[in-house]
C-alpha cells in the first residue's frame, strides 16, 4: 500500500516504477480513502500501542493506493524493498529502499507491507473483497485502472 503521505507527495508513480523494476507483477490496485473504523480494523494488532491514535489519524488523512503484488517469496521480497519501518533508519541501513527514498520518519513511511502470508491474504480480502468493502464502509475513490 502507498500510504497517504506517499500519495500526497506524488510518489505513487515512482514507487510503482521501483516495484516493476524489482520484478513484481501488480495484479490489482485500488484507490481507497480509509475511514476511521476501517483504519482501526486494518491496524488492529497495534491497538494497544501508544502511537495508535496518531497512526489512525495518519492513515485516514487521505487516499491510499492498495496493490496486490506477485513474485516468488513476495512477502519477504517486498519487506526488503520497502526497508525498515523508520525512514530515517532506512536511509542509513537501506538507502535504496522505498522508505529511505520517499518516507520521512517512523510514522510517515510512505508504504505498508504485509508481514506474513496470512496477513497478505487478510489484507487483500480487506481491500478487494466487496463484502468487506461495504462492511468497513471503505470509501473507494476510484476504480481499478
Ligand atoms: P506497516 O505495517 O505499515 O507495513 O509497517 P511495519 O510493519 O514496518 O511497522 P509496524 O510495527 O507494523 O507499524 C505500523 C505502522 O505504524 C506506524 N508507526 N508509528 N510513532 C511510532 O513509534 C510508530 N511506530 C510505527 C508506522 O506508520 C508503521 O508503518
Ligand atoms: Mg506492520
Q: Give the ipTM of the model, two decimals please.
A: 0.98
Torsion angles phi and psi, residue 139, rounded to 5: -105, 90
**Of 11, 33, 46, 112, which is the active-site residue?**
112
Pocket test for ligand 1, best of 85, 106, 107, 120 (most atoms within 8 A of CB): 85
Q: How many domains does the chain have?
A: 1
State what percent of residues in the chain have pLDDT above 70: 90
88 φ/ψ angles, rounded to the nearest 5 degrees: -70, -40
Answer whether residue 145 is part of any domain.
Answer: no
Query: At 135, is the pLDDT very low, low, confident or very high (cuts 50, 70, 90)?
Result: low
Model pLDDT for residues 76-94, shown as the tens digit of each residue: 999 999 999 999 999 999 9
Closest CA to ligand 1's atom 11: 85
Tell me what pLDDT residue 130 has: 76
Which atom in ligand 1 lies closest to the alpha carbon of residue 43? 14
Evaluate whether residue 70 is within a structural domain: yes
The cell numbers describing 18, all together, are 521501483
Is 112 labeled as catalytic in the residue annotation? yes
Q: Residue 139: beta bridge partners?
A: 33
Is 118 inside a domain boundary? yes
Cβ–Cβ under 8 Å, residues 93 and 86: no
C-alpha cell belonging to residue 33: 480513502
Shortest-distance Cα residue to atom 15 of ligand 1: 107
For residue 112, report the distance from its CA to the centre of ligand 2, in Å.
7
pLDDT band at 145 (very low <50, low <70, confident <90, very high): very low
The range of the structural domain enclosing residue 111 comes to: 5-140
Q: Enter the pTM of the model.
A: 0.94
Is 44 inside any structural domain?
Answer: yes
Which CATH number covers residue 114?
Answer: 3.30.70.141
Amino acid at each position: 500500500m502507498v500510504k497517504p503521505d506517499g500519495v500526497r507527495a506524488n510518489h505513487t508513480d515512482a514507487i510503482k516504477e521501483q516495484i516493476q523494476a524489482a520484478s513484481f507483477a501488480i495484479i490489482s490496485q485500488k484507490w481507497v480513502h480509509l475511514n476511521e473504523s476501517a483504519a482501526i480494523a486494518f491496524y488492529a494488532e497495534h491497538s494497544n500501542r501508544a502511537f495508535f491514535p496518531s497512526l489512525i489519524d495518519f492513515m485516514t488523512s487521505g487516499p491510499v493506493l492498495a496493490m496486490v503484488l506477485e513474485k516468488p517469496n513476495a512477502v519477504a521480497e517486498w519487506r526488503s524493498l520497502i526497508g525498515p519501518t523508520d525512514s530515517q533508519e532506512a536511509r542509513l541501513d537501506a538507502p535504496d529502499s522505498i522508505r529511505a527514498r520517499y518516507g520521512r520518519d517512523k510514522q510517515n513511511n510512505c508504504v505498508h507491507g504485509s508481514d506474513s502470508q496470512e496477513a497478505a491474504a487478510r489484507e487483500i480480502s480487506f481491500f478487494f473483497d466487496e463484502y468487506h468493502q461495504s462492511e468497513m464502509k471503505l470509501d473507494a475513490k476510484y476504480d481499478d485502472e
